[in-house]
Amino acid sequence: MKLRYLQLLILAALLAFPVHAQVKLDSAEVARILQGAPEKIVPPTEELSPDNDEEGESAILPFQNDSHLSWQENVKAHLDGILQTDIATTMQIGVMVWDLSDDKLIYGFNERTQLRPASTMKCVTAIAALHRLGSNYNYRTGIYYTGTIDDSTRVLNGDIYCIGGMDPMISNNDITAIAQAIKDLDISKINGSLYADLSFKDKDELGSGWCWDDKSPRLRSLLLSKSDSFIGTLIRRLREQGIEPNGIIGERTLPADATLITMRTHSIGEVMQDMMKKSDNLYAESMFYQLAAANGGKWNSSKQASNEVNALIRQLGLSPSNYRIADGSGLSLYNYVSAELEVQLLRYAYNQPNIYNTLLPTLPIAGVDGTLKKRMRNTPAEGNVRAKTGTLFGVSSLAGYLTASNGHRLCFAIIVNGGMSQGPMRNLQNKICVALSQ
């Protein structure tokens, strides 16, 4: 009895604790970030470790084909059987499979149902970015100066500008190279300020529909290793090179008469590698904002990026009004797409060599690497399925490519909503991929 009273007392104390206290704490953290103070952010990947209740590979037995049926009829029979199990009927499921070799629909199951995609949203972002920006696109971070350099005193009488391009791959090595480039101008002192030009994107640091209490990546124009301050690190590197800044640190847009010192770049393919293999949300959001900036404007927004994706959706003959594109990573609870949309995008990519040849190597390989490393091992799908995974609470998805036993190239999308644990949802996807692979 005393134990029960103690439990009730603890529960009452928890309920009495002000909910807004956590909100204030988070707001304080955001304020500290805006001031450029160093912070530690949990690596922004939404992929969760497999649940304990996920069935092992031994549970995925080979499917028996009926010799009297065609290959497509056997596939339909196998997939119908998977989707008519008791566990499948408790969830919302959308499935679509397209034969790329014959360019025809192989299988559809609620393929037009609007569902939350989780990280298969990254497929949408990647294909739209390659379509709009091209496979040779580079992320750019520019360093400029204004004023003049006094050769006799080796003093820059002017300011240094760091132009953010939301490149998530900027590292400490890049900052060291920037400091060296400034030193190579024979500068020993900066008689001016260091400014950050943050006009590449809007001021929103969290995506629309993101949970405020999640450890989500902060979206900024100037990025450095998810934990360090770009400007602060640059100042330290300059001092290590014997260069003393002598001014304020601030935010200002680059003047028209500024002179380029150096430009640091990373290719869209490099960024896409971590974005897809590791399901890195920051990399995906940075790519989303590259889309937004496609027309060369400033203070670009996620709405502009959504408009670019919608333009491609229209080009595919689908209606953007049937979907909701809220962010580039799939973190947003406002995203709604269908298996049909993802398949049609994958189909479009396959028919565009410049897109497909960049996209395919970035997709995780079943049983081999990325977020599929521990899935579908010791099955016909191992080493065959190349697909993007998606994982949020109550959501599991898989979309990508494989080669069927008849040699035909297929693309597919499987989106599952409403599951209370990841295991059954993932195992359903695994079984579908095995059925398609054998």
Of 249, 267, 285, the residue that ends a domain is 267
Least confident segment among 46-50, 215-219, 357-361 = 46-50
pLDDT interval class at 128 (50, 70, 90): very high
Least confident segment among 23-37, 184-198, 309-323, 386-400 = 23-37
pLDDT digits (tens, 9 = 90+) for 12-63: 444 444 433 333 333 333 333 333 444 333 334 444 444 333 444 446 766 7
Q: What is the CATH number of the domain that holds 239?
A: 3.50.80.20
What's the average model confidence in pLDDT over 55-82? 77
* Structure token digits, residue 249: 């640190």
pLDDT interval class at 211 (50, 70, 90): low
What's the average model confidence in pLDDT over 399-423? 95
Q: What is the CATH number of the domain that holds 64?
A: 3.40.710.10
- Specify whether 252 is located in the same domain as 368: no
pLDDT > 70: percent of the chain: 82
353, pLDDT greater than 70: yes
Q: In a 10 Å sphere around its CB, with 0-12 CB exposed, 13-18 middle and 19+ buried, how is residue 52 labelled? A: exposed
pLDDT digits (tens, 9 = 90+) for 294-305: 999 899 899 999
pLDDT > 90: percent of the chain: 71
- Specify whether 256 is located in the same domain as 152: yes
pTM assigned to the model: 0.84
**How confident is the prediction for the chain on average, in pLDDT?**
86
- Specify whether 82 is located in the same domain as 166: no
CA–CA separation, 306 and 316 (whole Å): 15
pLDDT digits (tens, 9 = 90+) for 241-286: 999 888 888 999 999 999 999 999 999 999 999 999 999 999 999 9
Domain that holds residue 331: 57-135+272-437
Total structural domains within the chain = 2
Q: What pLDDT was estimated at residue 15?
A: 40
Q: Please tell me which of 52-56, 86-90, 135-139, 149-153 the model is most confident about, judged by mean pLDDT.
A: 135-139
